[in-house]
Structure 1
Amino acid sequence: MRQFLLSVVLILASQAAFAQITGKVIDAESKDPLQGATIVIKGTQTGTISGFDGSFKLQGASAGETLQISFIGFETMEMVAKEGMIVALVPKANLLGEIVITSNVIDVAKERETPVAITTIAPSEITLKVGNMEFPEIMNRTPGVYTTKEGGGYGDSRLSLRGFTQSNTSFLINGQPVNDMENGWVYWSNWQGMTDVASGIQIQRGLGASRLAVPSVGGTVSIFTKAAEVEEGGTLTQGIGNDGYVKTSASYNTGKNDRGWASSFLLSRWSGNGYVNGTSGEGWNYFAAVGYAPEGSSHALNLSVLGAGQWHHQRSSWVSIRDYINFGESGVDRKWNTDAGELGGEEFNMRRNFYNKPLATFNWDWDISNDVTLATSLYGSAGRGGGTGPRGNNFRNSDIDLYPFNIDLTQHLLEDGKGAASRNPDGSIDFDNVIAVNRGTTSPYTGSISGFQGQLIGSNGFRNDGVNRAVLVRRASMNSHNWVGGISTLDITKDNWRYSVGVDLRSYTGFHYRSLENLMGLDGYYSTGNANSAGQIQNVTISASPFRNTGLEREKIDYFNTGKVGWQGFNGLIEYNNQSSVTAVLQAGYSNQSFRREDFFDQPANPISEKKNIGGGYVKGGANYNLDERSNFFFNAGYISRQPLFDAVFPGFANDVNTDLQNEEITSLELGYGFVNNNLKINVNAYSTNWGNRFISQGVSLPGGIDGTAQFKDVDVRHMGLELEAEYRYNSQLKFKGMVSAGDWKYTKDFNATVFNDQNQSVGNATLYVKDAKVGDAAQFTSYFEAEYKIGKLNFDLAYRFVDGLYADYSINNTDFLQPNNKGALKLPSYGLVDLGSTVRFDLLGNSSSFRVNVNNLFNTLYISESNTNIHRADESAPAWKGIDYGNSVWFGFGTTWNATLRINF
């Protein structure tokens, strides 16, 4: 009997052990699989998560039991368990997974459907891992992406994609282009608030899925922000980090009421001393959104305002490797800053960036019928701010000749002895002595301008009547703007076909001028920068603060001009999707860009230019084929005709239109393959992008002492590469992810040009010898590996990133490349960095809470993240760091940094 009972128990136990339910979790609307959904037996801790293809296997579950299935952004569902069950979760309003979609004008790419290479970063990952890093750095784990902190001031980072700079990569916030309309750049200090309000990032490499005629040479980075949340609640967040970093945030959502209204608000403040010496800063991030979507209505409205007012000190003077060694702490002191010092016992820096760029957006989505939708977005921005720097002929007085030009501080200070009187023993600047020198060497003003007799007046060039030109003041170079735009798209869906037409309208005015910010002990400044005036003395200063008067309506010095850029774009799309295996899309767009420049100071005979209109556009298409539930293939190809930037239209800061304008031409081809099963996801793609028809002007010296200017046309560069991303779930506790990106980016040939003298006469020929020269300033090989382990409510993640194929930042119009036997681009040493993070989740007074710690560059690795010079060693005996000549001006990457964040949800 005992043996019989034991056998029964063993049989029952074995049945319980092997009892399981399998099934699949999908999106009820799109039918796409949902990876990472949680499936638990109701009332127990027994559960699992769905794999990459949405499938799951729940051990210990039996048919008839009640299961709870949940996924962020979807309504939680309870279902009776049965073998092979299909769980169709219903999305919450305006949510795609974790990512909040604020308007249908946003072009979101979908895996196994949209034929482009994509990487999507969820808001949970942004919240956990950004900490006190720069916002673009969260994208460093993406194939083809390379970001650096540049000089190290907070917000001074940059990003390149597939070897193309930010001005050649499109950045969209909620579908709206944010690249500067004059120079194409993106200033991340203006968008620091993205760390608080981003609800997701999608990096579309290559041509991208956007219907706008945007500069997607390297790709498109689409950032989604929060909308008016439909559920009531809020968060309190407190963060701290290295070098005095402190950040406090609070947000609240009212939830959606019976009438369809909802609103959300966020406010945060950060401050810190900066990792680099003399780079302290502080700022406020703000966000507010109001949504209206009544039940049963075909209309949805959302109004949002976001911004990030900030100021921070910078490191702008190039620093050579020997400067890092000769100044600061022992060894290579990567924190050294040539620009930093003290004034009145407090940190002071001639270089201070300050900006506030609020962005207001109104979205209206209208479901005209079941098959027709209209999405419209209106937006506007009034950016105000700029950056400070030195002004005056201080180089004429060795006591305040502080800033080396095209040389390092070692030569300027230690070898040439310049500026020693205003440098402390450690090399930092004594700005109190600068004030003393300004005042002590300036005589009382004796000129005829009334109200200033007897005062101490400085200037940049004027030197009569007691005015002192050998002084140093702090000026502010302003780059403010007014920008409005509108995007509207009409989508028609019929059976398996989708048709879309849209318009993209933009109007931009940039205000460029200089103002006085700090007179450094003087009473006034004699300005001769306005050609409409014989000269005037100014004593009105602005404050280098993002929330104060930035001087647009006040007196100005040196220069004052505006740039006006208009944009009228039209686009169309035809897409076929049989909802199972084939998606094919063809897109085309045309844009007219208008340029006009007005100068209030420098060109009295020609104060305003003619209006120049330049057309451009694109055509691109591709297809995706799902071979089965596991494998898919895609390809895309396209051509872009891109208008030149503002400075190319008006070269030399003049109002004369360039008579030799030409559009840049970009052609691209890409192939990709994807594989997915329950535990493994792999995406691999190969690309080739040719960027040609570029124009470069170069001053050259010909034999016989003849100087002139060579204008090189049809400059071509080719970017080819292979990218792989993979993610593997070993079990519900342990997962791995990684990527490898290998590029071959180089110039395709040598380029010839005719040389013209100042009278525009041909005086000879010149050649740029750049064939096979590697493209610099971005790593051509990167890899990333991360392991994440969960045990209960505790999470650990360890990551390793390797960088190679990184070359110096150089211009091919460097005089070195006028020689046929030049050494090409300087290759920088490879490096690898380890990051460690941990999260614990818990209840705090009944509120769901978490505590996160990040340690970046765990082993304090010393490495060069970029070089501003291209100096090759003369021979093996020349002093060098890891083979890099000491004379090169470089930015060393940050050492070990850390941050910790407590987050309370209520």
Structure 2
Amino acid sequence: MLVVLSFSTASFYFAQTSDTISKEKDIEQVVLTGVADIAKDRKTPVAVSTIKEAVIVEKLGNQEFPEILNSTPSVYATKSGGGFGDSRINVRGFDQRNTAVMINGVPVNDMENGAVYWSNWAGLSDVTSAMQVQRGLGSSKLAIASVGGTINVLTRAADKKRQGTVNVGVGNDGYHKSLFSYNTGKSEKGWASSFLMSRTAGSMYADGTKFEGYNYYFALGYNPNSKHDFQFTITGAPQWHHQRSFQSTISDYIKYGGTEEEPNRKYNQNWGYLNGEEYAMTVNYYHKPVMSLNWDWKITDATKLNSVAYASFGRGGGSGDFGRINSKSYTSLPRTADGLVRFDDIVKWNQGGVVADFGAVNKTPFIANVSNGIVRRSSINSHNWYGLITSLNHKFSDNLNATIGFDGRRYDGMHYRILTDLLGNNVYTDTSNINNKPNQISNTFDVRPTWNPFGGKTNDIKDQAGYSNDGIVNWLGGFGQLEYTTDALSAFVQGSVSNQGFQRIDYMLYTPENQKSEKVNQIGFNIKGGANYNINENHNVFANAGYYERQPFFGAVFLNNRNDVNPFLTNEKVISYELGYGFRSSVFNANLNLYSTSWDDIYRRLTTRRKINNVDVTGVANVQGINEIHRGIELDFNVRPAKIVTINGMLSVGDWYFKGNPNAQFVEDQTNVIVDEGTLKLDGLKVGDAAQFTAALGADFRLTDWLNFDAQYRYADNLYSAFEPGDRLLKATDPANKVLPEAVKLPSYGLLDLGAGAKWNINATQAFKFRVNVNNVLDKVYIAESRTNKPADANEANNWKGINKANEVFFGFGRTWNASVTFNF
């Protein structure tokens, strides 16, 4: 059975257009399948914001998908390096590895490391009906990694009304997009289908970021009677894109095409020209189709069973470099006057030619290895993923209902490296595989996604270099919820338990009989509860609390990229509390939330470089016991002072910091000898990589039934650089007054976005829509994120707006624009 939910406008940010609002009432109903746990206004006691399809279609433009959430409290999304789909998002100071991302209630975070690669979902904005972010505990019944929150993306249903769409869009830097979709509507026999296909290509704002991506979506629905509903969907987004993988120093942004007042924000150190064509050392390419079959069964009026079986097959990877030229990586070699990589000269040196400023001539031309000659390789991260989620809900009375369910998953990750370009060499000599040493590799493979990702490994072990291993994660979970509701009160208690099984198979570091690690099982659980009380039709209050014991990620189970099991493996602990207040009226709506989250026994793999007997040594520490505290206050509101205008706003103030000083031992990579040990002096240090103060104010104007425009100003402050805790190591032999690096506070910034749309109705079923968006209208120059923490220099000439120019940063994009025309029929 389809579950139909409606929500109050107070939890939504929407465009004031004739397609979005026809009356002063709740936004259009959202049709969902039963496994998706969607928060309901004045009922579910969690902090929530929801973006509707019309807003995504109108306002996203050529921005990255997560950026549409930047106008919601405690969310900080950036484009990161700026490659197509390379964006990232933080919720309440927690990165996306610790924020659960779900599609129609199905988890999609990588089961090994929790990562979310938005390039895999680059076409998701085309098929999204609504996008809801639940901050904090969230309403999902599953034992998911929602330390910061849950982002649930709801895709269009097969039985949407009969309609077709053709869309063409253009934007800055050669961006262009074309899309076609069609929905059949539901037939008299209960069948319905929906289809979409799109292509996006061009370049992103940064130099050297060409890309091409496709998106396909097909849904088939069958509703034979009032008791059963079936929905099958498959979607995928094969894409490739050149990346800006490494942050450059502020000095380089100024040196290569910039000025002191305006650094060259487009600068990218990872690309150049090869034979006159744009060439990138770092290319990402992937195809990850996801298919699911939903079955909703109304057993009786009081009992319902909702199930979804799903599968995902990912194939692809990301390229980088192997080798050195006279001990220098490709990023350290002399560059052109514009700061580009001289790939033609790299090829020349590889083949024995003289390149004067590269140093000594290659003594083994055409033969490269890890220390002599440079080639391009690709790190393959493929997987097969299967899962089943089923939940049984029984309504004991009008006020009391219970849900129990099962969540099972299996994930097989395949990780290895292959060569993609020998760059003039004939072979690459690899000694990583003890079972085939040395290995002379001459085969190379294209950095383009395959349209047929099904099957096992796509490359023979003899073509692999550096490493080759599989990561296997099995998941068995159960969950339950008891919910009590009346007109005024809704309360729930919820719990889940899961067992994760881990195993690692290494094909290069071990002989065949020893390649499989032991199997490791780890139990995790959570319990949470909350209540919402509607004081009257205007006021409501809620509270929730929860305790999580979350299994660590795969890298914490097996140490040092080997089959060695961590003897001190322990779960991470999360305690969260939240209070909320809501106000509703016909003109003004607002939400106020207070939250506190303690995240303890965090596992971190830290690296440090030290000189031991005048030799650089890389040390690795697997540290447990790190603790973070995240507290804050959030406000969002909307007001409709007149029929033609809606004003939206939000404010969030966070206080996120480390607590305590855990001990650490740094072990040398090759010998496993302890090279450093001491205390990580973290207590009180600010958690970085996301703005702890954000605010937004926007207005949507519907001047007529056919013309609208909108504006939004967004502000970010208390933004600290990403911080490597290993830099705060204090050894027993260090002086008590040793100066340790601090997190660098980056300059605040504000951005103005504008948009306008028009509609021309040809008849009752056909219409043209026109849309223009301009982001960062004032062309603000700002730092979106920093990887390093060098303090301001005493010589002000070495600083930029108070930030040391030696820091490695990503500047935010300058002014960008896009325009589109859509024909609906």
User: TM over 0.5, yes or no?
Assistant: yes
Per-residue deviation, 1:817: 6.5
Alpha carbons 1:696, 1:813 under 8 Å: kept: no
Q: Does 1:478 align with 2:380?
A: yes
Alpha carbons 1:100, 1:225 under 8 Å: kept: no
Alpha carbons 1:205, 1:220 under 8 Å: kept: yes
Q: 1:905 to 1:765 in 2, by over 3 A?
A: closer
Q: Aligned partners of 2:773 and 2:210: how far apart in 1? A: 21
Q: Does 1:146 align with 2:76?
A: yes
3-state SS of paired residue (1:780)? strand
Q: Which amino acid aligns with 1:890?
A: V
3-state SS of paired residue (1:773)? coil
Q: Does 1:851 align with 2:770?
A: yes
Alpha carbons 1:386, 1:480 under 8 Å: kept: yes
Q: Give the 5 Å matches for 1:861-872.
A: 861-872=780-791
- Select which of 229, 245, 257 maps to 1:300: 229
Q: Give the 5 Å matches for 1:302-701.
A: 302-330=231-259, 331-396=262-327, 401-404=329-332, 419-420=333-334, 423-441=335-353, 457-461=366-370, 470-495=372-397, 496-547=399-450, 552-554=458-460, 555-578=463-486, 580-604=487-511, 606-696=514-604
TM-score, normalised to structure 2, is 0.91
C-alpha offsets along residues 522-559 of structure 1, whole Å, 9 cap, x if unaligned?
A: 23323322110122322222111112688723321221
Per-residue deviation, 1:684: 0.3
Deviates more, 1:814-823 or 1:227-236: 814-823
Alpha carbons 1:788, 1:796 under 8 Å: kept: yes
C-alpha offsets along residues 620-652 of structure 1, whole Å, 9 cap, x if unaligned?
A: 000000000000000000000010110110010
Q: Aligned partners of 1:431 and 1:866: how far apart in 2? A: 29
- Select which of 748, 751, 755 maps to 1:830: 748
Per-residue deviation, 1:49: 5.4
3-state SS of paired residue (1:118)? strand
Task: Give the match for residue 23 of structure 1.
Answer: none
Alpha carbons 2:429, 2:439 under 8 Å: kept: yes
- Select which of 33, 36, 44 maps to 1:114: 44
3-state SS of paired residue (1:806)? strand
Deviates more, 1:207-216 or 1:818-827: 818-827
Alpha carbons 1:581, 1:625 under 8 Å: kept: yes
Task: Give the match for residue 450 of structure 1.
Answer: none
Task: Give the match for residue 809 of structure 2.
Answer: 890
Task: Give the match for residue 361 of structure 2.
Answer: none
C-alpha offsets along residues 175-224 of structure 1, whole Å, 9 cap, x if unaligned?
A: 00000000100000000111101111110000000000001110000010
Per-residue deviation, 1:35: 8.8
Q: Aligned partners of 2:518 and 2:99: how far apart in 1? A: 29
Per-residue deviation, 1:439: 1.9
Q: 1:701 to 1:171 in 2, by over 3 A?
A: closer
Deviates more, 1:386-395 or 1:851-860: 386-395
Task: Give the match for residue 810 of structure 1.
Answer: 723
Q: 1:100 to 1:546 in 2, by over 3 A?
A: farther
Q: Does 1:773 align with 2:685?
A: yes
C-alpha offsets along residues 68-126 of structure 1, whole Å, 9 cap, x if unaligned?
A: xxx74xxxxxxxxxxxxxxxxxxxxxxxx2x331x100001001000000001100000
Task: Give the match for residue 729 of structure 1.
Answer: 640
Q: Aligned partners of 1:755 and 1:342: how far apart in 2? A: 40
Q: Aligned partners of 1:762 and 1:31: how far apart in 2? A: 59
Per-residue deviation, 1:138: 0.2
C-alpha offsets along residues 131-156 of structure 1, whole Å, 9 cap, x if unaligned?
A: 11000000111101001111111111
Per-residue deviation, 1:656: 1.6
C-alpha offsets along residues 397-455 of structure 1, whole Å, 9 cap, x if unaligned?
A: x7xx5313xxxxxxxxxxxxxx33xx33322123222222222359xxxxxxxxxxxx9
Q: 1:323 to 1:250 in 2, by over 3 A?
A: same
TM-score, normalised to structure 1, is 0.83
Q: Aligned partners of 1:764 and 1:816: how far apart in 2? A: 9
Q: Aligned partners of 1:612 and 1:394: how far apart in 2? A: 42
Q: Which amino acid aligns with 2:91?
A: L
Alpha carbons 1:710, 1:766 under 8 Å: kept: no
Per-residue deviation, 1:765: 5.8
Alpha carbons 1:597, 1:608 under 8 Å: kept: yes
Alpha carbons 1:458, 1:524 under 8 Å: kept: yes
Q: Aligned partners of 1:876 and 1:425: how far apart in 2? A: 27
Per-residue deviation, 1:345: 1.6
Q: Which amino acid aligns with 1:828?
A: L
Please list every run of 5 or more consecutive structure 1 residues that lacks an aligned counterpart in the other structure: 1-27, 38-44, 55-70, 73-96, 405-418, 443-454, 462-468
Per-residue deviation, 1:764: 8.9
Q: Aligned partners of 1:314 and 1:700: how far apart in 2? A: 26
Q: Give the 5 Å matches for 1:698-713.
A: 712-713=623-624
Q: Aligned partners of 1:177 and 1:477: how far apart in 2? A: 24
Q: How many percent of aligned residue pairs carry the same amino acid?
A: 43
Q: 1:168 to 1:395 in 2, by over 3 A?
A: farther
Q: Does 1:222 align with 2:222?
A: no
Per-residue deviation, 1:51: 3.7
Alpha carbons 1:606, 1:655 under 8 Å: kept: no
Q: Give the 5 Å matches for 1:26-45.
A: none
- Select which of 193, 206, 212 maps to 2:142: 212
Q: 1:613 to 1:538 in 2, by over 3 A?
A: same
Per-residue deviation, 1:711: 6.0
Alpha carbons 1:641, 1:666 under 8 Å: kept: yes
3-state SS of paired residue (1:813)? helix
Per-residue deviation, 1:50: 4.2
Task: Give the match for residue 291 of structure 1.
Answer: 221
Structure 1 vs Structure 2 CA RMSD? 2.6
3-state SS of paired residue (2:719)? coil
Q: Aligned partners of 2:611 and 2:770: how far apart in 1? A: 68
Q: Aligned partners of 1:762 and 1:474: how far apart in 2? A: 33
Q: Aligned partners of 2:821 and 2:125: how far apart in 1? A: 15
Q: Aligned partners of 2:713 and 2:76: how far apart in 1? A: 15
Q: Aligned partners of 1:510 and 1:257: how far apart in 2? A: 41
Q: Aligned partners of 1:654 and 1:138: how far apart in 2? A: 40
Q: Aligned partners of 2:602 and 2:246: how far apart in 1? A: 29
Please list every run of 5 or more consecutive structure 2 residues that lacks an aligned counterpart in the other structure: 13-17, 355-363, 732-736
Q: Does 1:100 align with 2:12?
A: no
Q: Which amino acid aligns with 1:384?
A: R
Query: What number of residue pairs does the alignment pair up?
Result: 787
Q: Aligned partners of 1:236 and 1:533: how far apart in 2? A: 54
Q: Which amino acid aligns with 2:694?
A: T
3-state SS of paired residue (2:351)? helix
Q: Aligned partners of 1:785 and 1:563: how far apart in 2? A: 45
Per-residue deviation, 1:457: 4.1
Q: Aligned partners of 1:372 and 1:676: how far apart in 2? A: 33
- Select which of 785, 792, 797 maps to 2:710: 797
Alpha carbons 1:770, 1:817 under 8 Å: kept: no
Per-residue deviation, 1:460: 1.6
Per-residue deviation, 1:573: 0.2
Alpha carbons 2:352, 2:366 under 8 Å: kept: no
